């Protein structure tokens, strides 16, 4: 057997391993698990936003910020996260609303307290 054919299975295995590694890492999204839901005219949301800006929170935590008053997709996602936390969504939900990947926090002070820890 020529040497080139001898190494072919090894090369194929290496290529498969590299492709598998790449695909696994592509599945890991750069989108953070934490989400801050807010309303663009919400005064409590503004308080959280000011705290985030004044305390360089974005440098310490990676999270999405999604507006829910004017975006129904974001509103539905917030309801889904709240339901996953066991919150009653039948009467609607208030903002600011923060999902940390596992837990839900509602209200400006609860969210600010989370960022202070």
Residue ranges of the domains in the chain? 1-30, 34-116
Residue 100's pLDDT is what? 96
Q: How confident is the model at residue 10 (pLDDT cuts 50, 70, 90)?
A: confident
Residue 53's pLDDT is what? 97
% residues pLDDT > 70 (the chain): 83
Pairing label, strands 34-38, 97-99: antiparallel
Return the CATH fold of 34-116.
Glutaredoxin (3.40.30)
- What is the arithmetic mean of pLDDT over 77-88? 95
% residues pLDDT > 90 (the chain): 67
Name the residue among 39, 115, 25, 34 with its Cα closest to residue 74. Answer: 39
Helix (H, G, I), strand (E, B) or coil at 39: coil
Tokens describing residue 107: 């209200």
Angle 67-69-75 from CA coordinates, rounded to 5°: 70
Instruction: Judge whether residue 5 has pLDDT over 80.
Output: no
Tokens describing residue 35: 């989400």
Instruction: Judge whether residue 2 has pLDDT over 60.
Output: no
- Provide CB contacts within 8 A for 85, sequence distance 6+: 99, 103, 104
Instruction: Judge whether residue 25 has pLDDT over 90.
Output: no
């Amino acid at each position: 057997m020529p040497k080139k054919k001898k190494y072919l299975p090894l090369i194929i295995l290496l290529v498969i391993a590299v492709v598998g590694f790449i695909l696994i890492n592509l599945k890991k999204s750069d989108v953070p698990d934490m989400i801050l839901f807010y309303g663009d005219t919400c005064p409590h949301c503004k308080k959280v936003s000011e705290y985030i800006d004044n305390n360089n929170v974005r440098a310490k935590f990676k999270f999405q910020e999604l507006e829910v008053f004017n975006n129904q997709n974001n509103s539905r996602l917030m309801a889904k996260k709240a339901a996953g936390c066991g919150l009653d969504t039948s009467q609607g939900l208030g903002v600011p609303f923060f999902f940390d990947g596992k837990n839900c926090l509602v209200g400006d002070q609860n969210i600010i307290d989370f960022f202070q820890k």
